Structure 1
Amino acid sequence: MAFAVNEINRNSNLLPNVTLGYSLYDNCVNLGIGFRSALSLVSGQGEEYILQESCVGAPPVLGIVGDSYSQPTIAISTALGLYRVPMVSYFATCSCLSDRQKFPSFFRTIPSDAFQVRAMIQILKRFGWTWAGLLVSDDDYGLHAARSFQADLAQSGGGCLAYLEVLPWGNDQAELRRIVAIMKKSTAGVVIVFAHESHMIYLMEEVMKQNVTGRQWIASEAWTAGAVLQTPDLMPYLGGTLGIAIRRGEIPGLKDFLLRTRPDLHHNNSYENNMVNQFWEHTFQCRLAPPPAGWVESGGALCTGDEDLEKVETEFLDVSNLRPEYNIYKAVYALAHALDNMLQCVPGRGPFNRRSCATLQRLEPWQIVHYLQKVNFTTLFGDQVSFDKNGDALPIYDIMNWQWLPDGRTKVQTVGAVKKSVIKGEEFTIDEDKIFWNFQSKEPPRSVCSESCPPGTRMARMKSQPECCFDCILCSEGKISNVTDATECTNCPEDFWSSPQRDHCLPKKTEFLSYHEPLGICLTTTSLLGTFICAVVLGIFIYHRSTPMVRANNSELSFLLLISLKLCFLCSLLFIGRPRLWTCQLRHAAFGISFVLCVSCILVKTMVVLAVFKASKPGGGASLKWFGAMQQRGTVLALASIQAAICTTWLVTSSPAPHKNTQYHNDKIVYECVVGSTIGFAVLLGYIGLLAILSFLLAFLARNLPDNFNEAKLITFSMLIFCAVWVAFVPAYVNSPGKYADAVEVFAILASSFGLLVALFGPKCYIILLRPERNTKKAIMGRGINK
């Protein structure tokens, strides 16, 4: 502080024509002493000094730099806040001090514990440590840090606490033994400690007694640099510790300033010399007055007052590791910059009432607070200094690692940093290659309550356990997880299904009556065979169209019936292959119309047989005029038109359409044609059934006609086969899933078509091809006589 004030006073660009002074108080790490000292400063009741011959008395206090710890700082800042006296702490880190309502004039150049907590959580995340123990001191520093740590850990989802214990003040062996026993029993391999060096000294004594090794310690800034803990006895336990340390800074010229300073014992009334004498007395831990004779030994240091200071080894002359000192340096400069900004105010443009400015003659502390809030400057070390709305400086910490060297020495190495800037925000950097790990593997340890759940599983919380303790449950069918530690399994897209490992989705297998599978090949072959047989029979009938066998059985209807049967065989092919909109619409229409043509031809044939028989009786010739060639064609066309109308209405109102059915199998897509309107499909089948039953009844009535009209017997037999097939079809179709429903329908079409073909045309082809002697008019007309 003395150096910073001296440097500012020699700086012509900062506070020109203004000389800063200071008063130093030792709080003796005692809340009461520190509180009284602060009140003495601001009340003007402090010790009077002769500053110059014409300037005597207690100087005005524009700001206080301190206190060093959070607990006294809270008490002091609460009182100073009533007077709006600015207080800039260099070492108080409690996040509670960021409350602007309780501490309106408090500032600090050290980051708050809130940022330190976030830095520690960043370290936990970096190494995957989700299961850690937390030890805190029994004071405002530790308790506030514990609350902040728990809240941030829960918010970030970075892990869980295996235990949280409060370290007692002093050497409470029973309590320490209990805490260390918990540490030893816990599966948490990482221990985070927010405490002071004194707490750690007592704690480590018990750790050594119980031989608790294999722990990764994470130190708060309060004990990261504690040299008293970096001993050969403790390094087997604390080696590899990662700690958060105050930013190390460089203050050019400080060591020269210290070396140039000499105590002046002959002018004890000098204010500045009194301060320096106190400094050197603490530095060398011995009296600076000339000794009576020889050397004086005090506190392990020998001195006479005439030593070469450059050769004296003491931590007060070590300026290579300035951490709290660097914060003091920044605090003094912050107050100086605030005062400088205030003095540059232009009257009429000021920030106070009626745009007034503050003056040195009538300066109020709250005016300094206003300017201190807006301070923004950069140190010679390159660090930016400014305060946010809560009085916190831009945070920056070094990440330290306690390294145990092969020769037994210890070294605290900077391995990273965490900081926040106005432009880049929060930055976290760490060089893992520089870290010493105090484990046989020389690798970062594992510290998790439960091992990570691999892809294909999800985490399931254990009852009454922290969220970091979980079981890994395999995803259910149709769901996957393709990341580690998934909390939920995600559904596969509609056309996909989960793999056996449940870590990715696979396209669902598709199922339909295909031309490439054995069943489809068999049905296709049968359909084409039936079509071929129809073509052969049609060829035979055309070739022998002038023979009595062809002419006697109404050749025109026979040709039309063969063509209809051929269409029936071919329409079955529409049921094979992947369903598409046009095949779904065409298959049932073609099926319905083709079979109506067949059954209509058979019905007309039956009616003609009955008419001819009736005409053979006396007075029955008039009935034949209703069954001429035109009437027969018209009847077939009319009956087929009705079916066409049914199909058209069905297709227009509720058309069949392809459908991806996943109800039969979760891992399969069954492509099928939904009928659209069940009523339409039922009417189509019902109409065919009606004509078939009518044909069967008429043929049954004509079964006993003379042999020269015996086609009725063939019709009866064919209709019996037809009806039997389609009666069996309905329950089989309803109970067959997916492609098997199409296969049942194709089988019914082919079976009924073959039944009609064989029953109606088999005997005729037999006579035409194998018994030509019976294919004569005489033979046909005489069959009844012979019999």
Structure 2
Amino acid sequence: MVPSEAYQYRGIVHLLHHFRWTWIGLLAMDDDYGNQFLQTIVPILTENSICSAFTFRLPKATYMEEMVEQMTVKLAERYPDLMDRKTNVFYLYGQPPVMMCLRLIFCLSSFTSLPPLSKVWIITSHWDFGSFAFQDFLDAGSFHGTLSFTVHSNQPPGFQEFLQTIRPFWAEADGFIQPFWEQAFSCSLKHKLEKICTGEEKLESLPGTFFEMHMTGYSYNIYNAVYAAAHALHNINIHGSKQRRLAGGGRLDVQNIQPWQLHRFLQRTLFNNSAGESVRFDKNRELVTVFDLANWLIFSNGSFARLKVGKLDPFAPSDNQLTLNDDQIVWHRGFKQIFANKNKMLQQFYGSILA
């Protein structure tokens, strides 16, 4: 149910071509995931006339002391590459540990005479700013204007109403709701010596960095996975007696079906979910879905906003798969100035030719 990264890489190429960005920097963790990413993306970029100015390998997350030491050395060695004026776009393959490394980069640079990075960040769908608290992030503004292909999501009917009715005392045995409630609202459900939770606190009052009131892309995939399994079981119930027999000749018992017995029916699944969207799989039995292009706005108080500024549709013709609303994109302030200067130079150049 997780969309193939191949579709995402295709979208990256469309995005880079759209803005005529042919000279970019690549950043990835120095591990197997990072190796696989670079081995895959570099040939794709080369085939599409896009060059990588440098490759920055971020050290793996180990002990904090070791990471600080490694990042200090690496920062001194590679910061000139990051500051190169010819490279205004960084493509970051972001597994969650990458955030730790980047926090160190921005933290260390803020204590030195190194200038801030005014670049455009393009990040993969593994990354979600909502998964990290930015309140203690010393230079979160470096990510202002970031672009990312996020897993598409929609809002199933009744989801907002459901969130508004959640209360911490629903299930005493639940291992998540009560600890989350206490942490989110800084209160206690049990200890009377602390601020007492009333149980009537509102989730919508929480900042977006702590809890989003809209269904995220990965939650939407789980939602669709449940529906896919339900449709497969339904098809087994209707057609099982004709399509599948147990070794003893009896009918397939839906109540006692094994997970592997669903595979044959899952790969043929095609349905519309309750949000009105089609769910289908390709020939490799991977989910084919739309990616949303998000523009991330990071504010000084640690809050953020995610604006949808386009989408990548694998079902569309190759030259129309990416649609963008350029005027809605908010760029990093430093890059915006560079972008404006380049446009001015191009206008002057073409104006002189036409004259």
> Letter of the aligned partner of 1:239 in structure 2?
H
Larger radius of gyration: 1
> Letter of the aligned partner of 2:58 in structure 1?
L
Deviations 1:615-636 (Å, cap 9, x if unpaired)?
A: xxxxxxxxxxxxxxxxxxxxxx
What does 1:204-603 correspond to in 2, within 5 Å?
Answer: 204-207=103-106, 208-209=109-110, 210-226=114-130, 228=133, 233-234=138-139, 236-262=141-167, 273-275=172-174, 277-285=175-183, 290-296=189-195, 303-309=196-202, 312-313=205-206, 318-345=212-239, 347=241, 349-351=242-244, 358-360=252-254, 362-403=256-297, 410-421=304-315, 427-438=321-332, 439-441=335-337, 443=339
> Letter of the aligned partner of 1:223 in structure 2?
W
What does 1:657-696 correspond to in 2, within 5 Å?
Answer: none
Work out the CA distance in 2 between the residues paired with 1:180 and 1:370: 52
Identity across the alignment (%): 25
> Letter of the aligned partner of 1:168 in structure 2?
P
Is the 2:31–2:60 Cα contact (8 Å) retained in structure 1? no
Residues 119 and 362 of structure 1: is their aligned pair in 2 closer, same or farther, counting only changes over 3 Å?
Answer: same
Is the 2:134–2:303 Cα contact (8 Å) retained in structure 1? no
Work out the CA distance in 2 between the residues paired with 1:284 and 1:255: 21
Is the 1:295–1:304 Cα contact (8 Å) retained in structure 2? no
Question: Structure 1 unaligned runs (5+)?
Answer: 1-107, 266-271, 297-302, 455-787
Residues 168 and 221 of structure 1: is their aligned pair in 2 closer, same or farther, counting only changes over 3 Å?
Answer: same
Is 1:166 the equivalent of 2:51?
no
> Letter of the aligned partner of 2:95 in structure 1?
H
Deviation at 1:144, TM superposition (A): 2.1
Which of residues 98, 102, 113 in structure 2 aligns to 1:203?
Answer: 102
> Letter of the aligned partner of 2:178 in structure 1?
W
Residues 237 and 359 of structure 1: is their aligned pair in 2 closer, same or farther, counting only changes over 3 Å?
Answer: same
Deviation at 1:358, TM superposition (A): 2.6
Deviation at 1:185, TM superposition (A): 4.2
Question: Structure 2 unaligned runs (5+)?
Answer: 62-66, 350-355
Work out the CA distance in 2 between the residues paired with 1:189 and 1:251: 39
What does 1:21-32 correspond to in 2, within 5 Å?
Answer: none
Work out the CA distance in 1 between the residues paired with 2:250 and 2:312: 41
Partner of 2:352: none
Deviation at 1:309, TM superposition (A): 3.4
Work out the CA distance in 2 between the residues paired with 1:264 and 1:252: 24
Residues 403 and 304 of structure 1: is their aligned pair in 2 closer, same or farther, counting only changes over 3 Å?
Answer: closer
Deviations 1:38-80 (Å, cap 9, x if unpaired)?
A: xxxxxxxxxxxxxxxxxxxxxxxxxxxxxxxxxxxxxxxxxxx
Residues 441 and 304 of structure 1: is their aligned pair in 2 closer, same or farther, counting only changes over 3 Å?
Answer: closer
Work out the CA distance in 1 between the residues paired with 2:128 and 2:204: 28
What does 1:10-89 correspond to in 2, within 5 Å?
Answer: none
Is the 1:395–1:419 Cα contact (8 Å) retained in structure 2? yes
Aligned alpha-carbon RMSD (Å): 3.8
Work out the CA distance in 2 between the residues paired with 1:199 and 1:131: 22
Is the 1:377–1:385 Cα contact (8 Å) retained in structure 2? yes
Is the 2:124–2:149 Cα contact (8 Å) retained in structure 1? yes
How many residue pairs get matched? Answer: 327
Residues 313 and 200 of structure 1: is their aligned pair in 2 closer, same or farther, counting only changes over 3 Å?
Answer: closer
Which of residues 71, 77, 90 in structure 2 aligns to 1:191?
Answer: 90
Deviations 1:552-607 (Å, cap 9, x if unpaired)?
A: xxxxxxxxxxxxxxxxxxxxxxxxxxxxxxxxxxxxxxxxxxxxxxxxxxxxxxxx
Deviation at 1:405, TM superposition (A): 7.2
Residues 446 and 164 of structure 1: is their aligned pair in 2 closer, same or farther, counting only changes over 3 Å?
Answer: farther
Secondary structure of the 1:222 match is coil
Partner of 1:616: none
Secondary structure of the 2:173 match is helix
Report which of the two has the higher share of helix: 1
Residues 263 and 229 of structure 1: is their aligned pair in 2 closer, same or farther, counting only changes over 3 Å?
Answer: closer
Work out the CA distance in 2 between the residues paired with 1:408 and 1:250: 26
Work out the CA distance in 2 between the residues paired with 1:231 and 1:372: 44
Residues 187 and 262 of structure 1: is their aligned pair in 2 closer, same or farther, counting only changes over 3 Å?
Answer: closer
Deviation at 1:332, TM superposition (A): 1.4
Residues 284 and 291 of structure 1: is their aligned pair in 2 closer, same or farther, counting only changes over 3 Å?
Answer: closer
Is 1:134 the equivalent of 2:26?
yes
Is 1:117 the equivalent of 2:9?
yes
Residues 273 and 249 of structure 1: is their aligned pair in 2 closer, same or farther, counting only changes over 3 Å?
Answer: farther
Secondary structure of the 1:413 match is strand
Is the 1:345–1:357 Cα contact (8 Å) retained in structure 2? no
Deviation at 1:396, TM superposition (A): 1.8
With 390-399 and 194-203 compared, the bigger mean Cα shift is at 194-203
Work out the CA distance in 1 between the residues paired with 2:96 and 2:236: 41
Work out the CA distance in 2 between the residues paired with 1:381 and 1:246: 16
